[in-house]
Homo-oligomer: A and B are copies of this chain.
């Protein structure tokens, strides 16, 4: 499959979360930086290949085949991220940037080699789940966003849901890393800010950040 097709199914898969309209051609086009016309064109082509269901003016929906394709690319992306992070100690932004290219030129053979080497991890350094060889994500995500945490409680960072360099730089600078422990010291409900303590530092985070930082209860 071509890079264009792989990116297309990936974009649909990733947009398929909240609003049904998020997988309409225009939104996929915006995500990929192509024209709406190009997205419609591609949608028709992929429908003919049974990769997605296309009906005029409706949202695009991946078939089983299409979803498998998307998960296969996402698997390779996240395996590369995990591998580059571990091996070369590259930043969250750098690993994403490189994986974005490598994912399309990686055989299943090599993907499995990487996975084995890493001990078949279930999460990448952003906390995103890594699908297995069959495109299955077995792990149940029990994490909540930092916005919904309670004052005085301890949490483990489980996901940094972004691809923004500025955000990652901020996280790296402040020890906000997958697996690290934090204490929520204050929730300012009025202005939607959260104060946390990490490595003996106190940090105040606004809603933009607390919405994309996910954590697990330490029990």
How far apart sit A87 and B94, CA to CA, in the bound complex (Å)? 21
CB proximity of A144 to chain B, nearest CB, Å: 35
Classify the interface of chain A: helix, strand, loop or mixed.
helix
Chain A residues touching B, range: 10 to 19
Residues of B near A109 (CB, < 8 A) are 94, 98
How far apart sit A147 and B69, CA to CA, in the bound complex (Å)? 50
How far apart sit A113 and B84, CA to CA, in the bound complex (Å)? 10
CB proximity of A117 to chain B, nearest CB, Å: 6
Residues of B near A114 (CB, < 8 A) are 88
Whether A98 contacts B102 by the Cβ 8 Å rule is: no
Q: Which single member of B88, B98, B105, B107 contacts A107 (CB below 8 Å)?
A: B98
Q: Which of A65-120 contact B (CB under 8 A)?
A: 84, 87-88, 90, 94, 97-98, 101-102, 104-107, 109-110, 113-114, 117
CB proximity of A178 to chain B, nearest CB, Å: 21
How far apart sit A110 and B109, CA to CA, in the bound complex (Å)? 21
Number of copies: 2
Whether B87 contacts A110 by the Cβ 8 Å rule is: no
Whether A117 contacts B105 by the Cβ 8 Å rule is: no
Whether B110 contacts A105 by the Cβ 8 Å rule is: no
Q: Chain B: which residue is nearest A102 at the CB level?
A: B105
Residues of B near A110 (CB, < 8 A) are 84, 88, 98
Specify which of A105, A107, A114 lies most central, judged by the most chain B CB atoms within 10 Å of its CB: A105
Residues of B near A105 (CB, < 8 A) are 101-102, 104-105
Q: Which single member of B90, B101, B107, B113 contacts A113 (CB below 8 Å)?
A: B90
CB proximity of A198 to chain B, nearest CB, Å: 28
How far apart sit A109 and B109, CA to CA, in the bound complex (Å)? 25
Q: Which 5 A-B pairs have the closest CB atoms?
A: A101-B105, A88-B113, A105-B105, A98-B110, A102-B105
Which A residues lie at the B interface, using CB under 8 A? 84, 87-88, 90, 94, 97-98, 101-102, 104-107, 109-110, 113-114, 117
What are 18 inter-chain pairs, A to B, with CB distance below 8 A? Answer: A84-B110, A87-B87, A87-B117, A88-B110, A88-B113, A88-B114, A88-B117, A94-B109, A97-B107, A98-B106, A98-B107, A98-B110, A101-B106, A102-B102, A102-B105, A102-B106, A104-B105, A105-B105
